[in-house]
Amino acid sequence: MDGNAPDFAAASRAALADPQLRGNFRRAMDGLMSKRAAQFADAGEWTGVRALAASVRLRALSKLPELLEKLEETCTRNGITVHWAATTDEANAIALDILHRVDAKLVVKGKSMVTEEMHLNAVLEKDGIEVLESDLGEYIVQLDGTMPSHIIMPAIHLNTKQIAHLFKRKIKDAESREDAAYLTDLARRVLRAKFQAADVGMSGVNAAVAETGTLCLIENEGNGRMCTTVPPVHIAFMGLEKVVEKLEDVPPVISLLPRSATGQPITTYVNMISGPRKDGEKDGPREVHLVILDNGRSSIYADPELRDTLRCIRCGACMNHCPVYTKVGGHAYEAPYPGPIGKILVPQIEGLAKRGAMPHACTMCNACVEICPVKIPIVEIMGRLRVEAVKPGGAVKDGGAKASRTEAMVWSGWAAMNASPTAYRVATLAMSKLGNAAPSSLPLLKEWTNVRTKPRFAGRTLHDLARAKGVPDV
């Protein structure tokens, strides 16, 4: 295994061994699933809104290059400075440039998955700039020194008791109270002071409208609004796929997102940012920047099958419904995007050498495909990545990185046996006569029999029974 590659198997073992974590996730995900189901109780309505949202995303992707050009033009006209970053390093450098120019000491951030992808916080801290996450969940995770475990609910892996403990340890004068209202209030007090003092506010973007140059950001707590309006400078980050064509394309996206994610009909705040403070206006930042990140997205875009990955609106519903994610939680993936969407997006961004194992952490049950509000064929793309992981020369970075001579030999032996009726008959005869003698301590069998009895080969195959009972062959 690649020395740098995160070890999902090991990380998930650790997660599974933590009963608290498993309980937290099971409960949280069961709740989210039923809340979402209540939102879409009307199957006809679900089919309709889903088709609409998928078509909005498809249309945007079908003309992505021209929409991005248009977005740059309209944003610029609105007074937003647009920056392009091919890599996360470039995006970080752009952010640092702006921060240095305005001599920023303190940054407040609204939730942004792209900056997670960039590891921006670490970069800023290394540069001596204080950065504070203001979304309550992100704030908790930041205090805890970990990463978000869910793209919508970053601290979903923790319960109130654990959070109370954390606050007590990390926040001055905090009382030890396992009371959600108290804890929220405490966090708010800390954050309010920081909003006033911050030099720069950062945020993500849920949708950027090409026609009007509007950046849309939805959130529940108002912290995103603080980040984007209080500090004198605002920097928004987006992956280049976030562009939509028209203003009327936004409602389907921002209605489906919270309904799919948390089962809320709509979020508390819908921010529409169309530029910096104008002369005579009393509030809003004086500078607004938009950083548009590629980081492998344009090569995903170039492949017609993989392109569907970019339809994602980051609602997290696929995680909530993924039987693997709900067992191990988001940290086990050690990736900015966990769960089903992570299993297809992260290997494409970071390459198969580092992430080639991710698409295998899946039973291909298709629960994510059933739930995805924009109809991404997640499992098909996963299948494609499995092929590319063992076959050099494909479209995905580091194709063939997981090629194994042994594995290839096993499958070609399997194919030879199953492609010849005679070979199959001999092999199944041998298995049904001798298979049960295999000791449970055999490597693969051992894993299986840890929690299950050994599969028992029947003495006679169905082929034998059918023949004996005179079932015709042709």
Q: Which does 27 bind (CB under 5 to 8 A by kind): another protein, ligand SF4, none?
A: none
| Cα torsion through 253, 257, 259, 263, rounded to 10 | -170
Among 175, 179, 185, 370, binds another protein (CB under 8 A): 370
Q: Do 339 and 149 contact (CB within 8 A), yes or no?
A: no
61 contacts 249 by C-beta, under 8 angstroms? no
Task: From residue 160, give the alpha-carbon distance in Å to each of 176, 263, 430.
Answer: 11, 21, 57
- If the CB atoms of residues 252 and 373 are measured against ligand SF4, the closer one turns out to be 373
| Contact between 439 and another protein per CB under 8 A | no
Cα–Cα distance, 157 to 153 (Å, whole number): 9
- Tell me which amino acid residue 105 is: K
CA distance 418 to 136: 55
406 binds another protein (CB under 8 A): no
Write down the least CB distance from residue 396 to another protein, Å: 12
Residue 288 binds which of another protein, ligand SF4, none (CB < 5-8 A, kind-dependent): none
Cβ-count burial of 379 within 10 angstroms (0-12 exposed, 13-18 middle, 19+ buried)?
A: buried
Which of ligand SF4, another protein, none binds 352 (CB below 5-8 Å, type-dependent)?
none
Stretch that binds another protein, among 166-174, 265-273, 319-327, 338-346 (CB under 8 A): 319-327
The DSSP bridge partners found for residue 83 are: 291
Binding stretches for ligand SF4 (CB under 6 A): 312-318, 340-341, 371-374, 376, 378
Structure tokens at 128: 């001596």
Asked whether position 229 contacts another protein by CB under 8 A, the answer is no
Residue type, 419: A
Tell me if 124 sits within 8 A of 99, measured CB to CB: yes
Contact positions with another protein (CB under 8 A) in 327-356: 327-328
How would DSSP label each residue in 5-18?
S--HHHHHHHHHT-
Q: Which does 313 bind (CB under 5 to 8 A by kind): ligand SF4, another protein, none?
A: ligand SF4
- Return the number of the residue (188 or 460) whose C-beta is nearest another protein: 460
Q: Which does 284 bind (CB under 5 to 8 A by kind): another protein, ligand SF4, none?
A: none
In this complex, which beta carbon is closest to another protein, that of residue 232 or of residue 435?
A: 435
Residue linked to tokens 């004996």:
468
287 DSSP β-pair partners: 233
Nearer to ligand SF4, 258 or 285 (CB): 258
463 touches another protein (CB under 8 A): yes
Read off the DSSP letter of residue 235.
E
User: Which residues are CB-contacts of 279 (< 8 A; sequence separation ≥ 6)?
Assistant: none
Number of residues forming the site for another protein (CB under 8 A): 68
Binding flag, residue 409, another protein (CB under 8 A):
no
Nearer CB in complex with another protein: 104/332: 332
* Contact (CB, 8 A) for 107 and 202: yes
395 near another protein, judged by CB under 8 A: no
From candidates 64, 158, 362, 372, binder to another protein by CB under 8 A: 362
Pick 21 or 257: Cβ nearer another protein: 21
Q: Interacting stretch for another protein, rule CB under 8 A, among 42-50, 134-142, 218-226, 431-439?
A: 431-439
CB 245 within 8 A of CB 63: yes
Main-chain phi, psi angles of 262, to 5 degrees: -120, 0
**Chain residues in the site for another protein (CB under 8 A):** 9, 12-13, 16, 22, 26, 323-324, 327-328, 360-367, 369-370, 383, 386-391, 408, 411-412, 414-415, 417-421, 424, 428, 431-432, 435, 444, 447-458, 460-467, 469, 471-474
